[in-house]
Each structure stands twice: as structure tokens, then as C-alpha cells.
Structure 1
């Protein structure tokens, strides 16, 4: 009797596709699990992924050998062992409490007028000229400016931070190929030195930014190097994912004028639209978890020590949970997408901030442009685990 193996999931091949969602559909249809890399299973269906993202039988904390295999020897493996994304309680609980105060919904709400002003400033040339690039003119600039004020980063440094944060994002793939490792290490070292300098800089008085507060943390609670690495992580995570939400969203709306017309008719729909854009083309496509206790999925028991790759992008397009998942519907409600992690202790720390920036940007687009359409060929950035663009040229008609 022959054994039928589950289908193979290849993150690199999927990353090369302009549209991976038809492949995800076929993988879901084939079964609840796909084969990934060594000792790795990939979960593609919504019900399974949603049930596992907060399951305490799984953990986010991998041993150092895992990071060395994925990232090589040196600073990257060390960095990934420190950031809260890859820590379990109690370390994760401490770090989230220390870093999370500036990113709560009330804290973000207090900065909404400032975010609106940044959007208006960045898109003022588009209003005058009738064109802009969603990546270079908006998405690459807004999140890092917002983060600079939250963290306490000098605005003069953001043009140097931005490309290095994007380079560092390569390390968040399931596996970092050898050719990319040197430049990624260089980006990490540079960002560590920048953040360390912020901690050491003389301040005239107590500030309200994150660095000012973290400088006073007792080393017994979290040592300085751990704090530095987690601020570096915030600069990457808060930049890259929001950048991709904005550029993916602009591209999707420009290709669907009927959906943009809904927002123009009623900007109160924009928050729902942001949730739908997150579902439709999730910036972060996967989460990896280490199995601590046996987990049964579709009749197969996954043993401790194995890795489960939770395919958020596939789950968000599961036809058993979402009607017409391949269609963008800015009025979709409810919309229980998993793009910010789907709940649990590892829910995205910057979710409220990313949502606020997207609501501000798409509200401006709806109010100030009577039309927005492709102004040239959009260019995808093909990287495992992320959906993003290098360029999204657009033509707009100012109102």
C-alpha cells in the first residue's frame, strides 16, 4: 500500500509569483498540512491557523541552533534570540510591557492629528502634479517618520534608517540565503549602533519618547543590549509591515475604481477598508511556531520539536471562512482576518499604529482624489514571507 504524501510548500517559489493565492487554494484543497523544510509542516486552512496562533502547545522561542541554521553564525542569530517576536513568557511578557505603552490604541489616537498632517505633507505634491508613487512618495516615508517621533529618532537619520530596515527584513524569512547574509548583518550592525547612540546621548531633560523611558529601565528587568535589539526590531517591524500595507492597498484600490468610489462616497467606511486590504494581500504571510506538545491536525499528529508554519495569507483567502475571498470588498464585515497574528500574546504590537496610518492615508486619498489609477507597471518585491512592492506608480485626479 503506497503512502500519499501531502503536497510540498516552497516559500521561495511562491515568493516569485505575482499572485500566489491560486496556489494557496490548491494547497488548501489538497489537505490541512503541506510539507515544508526539514521537520517543518505548513498549515494553510483558516480554522486550523486561527486555532493555532494562540495555542499554548506552540511557542515562538527557538533555540540558538535553529537561528544559526536559518541565518548563519554571528549577529543575526544573536539578534533573533533577543527580540520579543521570538520570546515566550516570562521574557516576552516583560518586553511587551516595557515597549508597548507607546503603541496602545489611546496613545496612537492622541497622535492621529500629527499622522494626518504627515500624510497631507507627503501627498501635497501628488495633489499638485496628478501623480505619485505609492512606495517611494508615501509608504516608504510615512511609517518611518511616525516611528521616529514615537521612538525618539532624529528625523535627519530616517533616510539612512529606511533602506537598512528594509534590508533587515530579509532576515525574517524562514531561511536567509547565503548571498543576502552579509548585507543583512551590515544593516543590523549599523542599526544597533544608531540605537545604542540614542540610549547614550545626553538629554536636556526627561522626554516622552520610547528611548527616554527605556533608558531608565533597571538592568535587572532587561539589560541594555536586549532593549537596543528590541528597539531595532520595532524600527523594522513598524516600518516594513505598514509600508507594505500602504503600497499593497494603493495598488489594490487603483485597480478597482468601484471600491475606491465607495470610500469617496463615505469615508466612514475607510476603517473597514483597511481591514479588508489587510485580509486581501497580507503584508506578513506566515508565522513560524515550535511545537512543545503534540498537536493533531487533520488526523496527523505533529510531534514536539517540529516547526509549524502558519500560512496567514492562505487562511485569509479560505473560502470556508470568507465569501468570495478573491474579491476585494471594502465593506466586508465582519472580517476576522489573521494578518496581525490573529490574537494571542504575540498579536502585533504595532497593529493600532499601522491601522491609524492606513486610515489616515486612505481617507486622504478618498477625499482629495476623484480618481486613482495605475500610472505605469507596478514592480513587486519578491521575498519569502512578505507581500510588498518596489514601485507602484499612480495617476490621480485631484478633487
Structure 2
């Protein structure tokens, strides 16, 4: 380091105050520069311009070395699983399966599910019309998101609620960096779900014109065989609903805490689509995405060296004052809204189109069916540096 040169700001993603509310820390590191020190041999990218560009930069890889300290949790669970799933593979390696999964979660498919989503939301909201109580997690966000993704994958409905849901909820911790020790529930969930999907695939045969499971079997790597399909379907059991669920949760909290915006949505439910986008920007469901530098990458007045981990701080970029007017304020009609909450490029969120449709339908139904939505008790967070997750959001509601 050149004499007198000031080191970039540091942030600890695992510190309790950051896990609880990362945005004050984001403001500090973003003001200090485009890079912050984020962990062992790691950089965090703080500003929207750089994050948006690097999301599409092929000099960054999704494949990490086996001894990378950030991903020891995934290795403890199953190194093979972690290496097989699409997010940890580069585009040339994963294009076969990725094309099939994109097809299953395409914008067209998402739009065609809107009526099904609306019927499901209406069913789930009906009890609250009588009780005046609604837990936005257990009674709405999770069952909608999990039901829809399981139906799109083709998992049998009879076993989904009782057996797949609880395990998919625990599965997220299997794919989270920075975890200090193995999580037994995540291990057990991963083992059970792999066996469940493997048994389910016994009834399918490779068919490029069949359902999602048939199509994935048809393009599976011969060297990996069915195990490649198993692990990516297991990953879909989690990733296919996590973004939607967290967006509905953070949006519900935002509306309850911002009554003017709730009244605005009530007066014009057609704002539900832009509201969903704003909730993704304001409190990003996934706070960052990890990459590995393959080549020297200039960011600001520094160069990220090859072999360094690079964390693109989506939640930080979404509050960038140079891009978003009054970024710490909710504006459900915000236009334009170039947030990066769904990532970008070929590694962008697979379920983004579905999340947009589900969010628009859910918030439109909430606005039409309830006159008031207030917090009945303090929301309970699921502590995570990566996800903005909630265990419970007790709401008091009154019928419209």
C-alpha cells in the first residue's frame, strides 16, 4: 500500500446491528467509497453504478475455490451439492439446465399463473376478515410463494404442505455464506429433500417436450446424471420462493409502518406493481451476491486482484443517493426505479418474473380487502446477513 493511502471503510456483515438494520452501515461505507472491506480477502461493492455493471461482468465468476473461508458451511453440508447448483456455476457450464429452469419461470408462465395466485391469496386472506388477525409470514407470504413454486416444479400437492414446506424453509441456511457452524436442521432438510426428489424422478423419463423434471433429465450432464437434476430441483425448492416471500414480508412491514403509503395504495390498487418493485428496492430480499474475481478489476481508484471474493451489495446500491431521490423513503409509485434487488445478467434472480406477478397480486388483494393494516406486535426477524427474512409479522386488519 502506498504510504499515506487510507484504507477503505470496513463493515462486518455478521455484526448484530448490521443483521438487524444494515442501512445505516451501508450509508457510511457508500459515502466512504465504492469499495469496502467485507471479510477475509473480500471486497464489498457499495455503489449502484459499479454493482449494476459488475452483475454482468464476465471477469467475475460464481465458482469459488474449495478452501474459500466464506463457504465453509456449504462444504460441511455437501460440497457436491453446492458445486452442482446453478448459482455456483459459470454460464457456459450451467446453460443446459438454466435454459429449462428459465423456461419454467419465464415472464409468460408467471403471467399465466396470476389467476391461480389471486385465488390462493383470496383463500388465505378470508379467515382474517373474521378474526382481524393475519401473520404476514405464516398466513400469506410463505404459503403463497411455496405453493406456487412447488406447483410449477411439479411436486405432488399431497406432500407439499406437510413435508416439503418445513424442510424447504430450513434449506436456505445451507446456501448462505459466513455461517459459523453447521446447522443440523439445514443438513437434515437437505438430506431428506434429495431423497424425496430422487424418488420423484423415478417416475420421470428424459423428454425434451415433457414437464420441467422430464426436460431437465433430458439435458443432464451424462457424467453427473440424475444427481445434477436432483440437486438443482432441491435448490429450486428454496430459491423459487425465498425472494417472493421476503419481498411480501418486507412490503407488509413497510406498509404497516407507513400509513400514508397504505392509504395511497388503498386509493389506487393499480399501484401494486410499482409498490412491489419499491419494496424490493427499499429493503432488498437478498442483500448481496457473491462473486470471485478472475482478472484485475478496477473499481474507483483501486483494483480488485484475481482470487479475491467480491460481494455486490444489492441492498446498499438500492439506497444510492446518486440514483434514487430520497432513497430512505418508501414511494410506492416510484418511477423510474432501476433497483438491482433481483440481481442482473445471466445470473439474475431466476424467480424475478414470478416474484413481480405474485407481489402485484398480493398487494392488490390486500388493498382491496382490508381498510387498515397495522402491526399487532413487533415483527420477529430471522437473523441473517444475506436475507431480509421474518419469522413472524403479526398484523391487525379490518375488512374493507
TM-score by length of 2: 0.93
Shift of 1:175: 1.9
3-state secondary structure, aligned to 2:67: helix
- Give distance in 2, aligned partners of 1:255 and 1:280: 13
- Give distance in 2, aligned partners of 1:4 and 1:184: 41
- Give distance in 1, aligned partners of 2:265 and 2:210: 35
The corresponding residue for 2:346 is 345
What does 1:204-219 correspond to in 2, within 5 Å? 209-217=211-219, 219=221
What does 1:1-399 correspond to in 2, within 5 Å? 1-13=3-15, 17-66=19-68, 70-71=72-73, 73-158=75-160, 159-180=162-183, 182-201=184-203, 209-217=211-219, 219-220=221-222, 223-341=225-343, 343-399=344-400
Contact in 2 for aligned 1:149/1:209 (Cα 8 Å)? no
Q: Which moved more, 1:118-127 or 1:57-66?
A: 57-66
- Give distance in 1, aligned partners of 2:224 and 2:174: 24
Q: Say how many residue pairs are matched.
A: 396
Shift of 1:194: 1.1
Shift of 1:146: 0.6
- Give distance in 2, aligned partners of 1:139 and 1:286: 21
Q: Which moved more, 1:14-23 or 1:110-119?
A: 14-23
Structure 1: runs of 5+ lacking an equivalent: none
Specify whether residues 53 and 73 from structure 1 end up closer, same or farther in structure 2 by C-alpha distance, changes over 3 A only: closer
Shift of 1:177: 1.5
CA deviations on 1:75-103 (whole Å, 9 max, x unpaired) are 43211111111111212222211222111
CA deviations on 1:177-215 (whole Å, 9 max, x unpaired) are 2142x3322211111111111101379x99964224434
3-state secondary structure, aligned to 2:8: coil
- Give distance in 2, aligned partners of 1:282 and 1:239: 15
Structure 2: runs of 5+ lacking an equivalent: none
Specify whether residues 225 and 75 from structure 1 end up closer, same or farther in structure 2 by C-alpha distance, changes over 3 A only: farther
Contact in 2 for aligned 1:67/1:80 (Cα 8 Å)? no
- Give distance in 2, aligned partners of 1:68 and 1:28: 22
* Superposed CA RMSD: 2.2
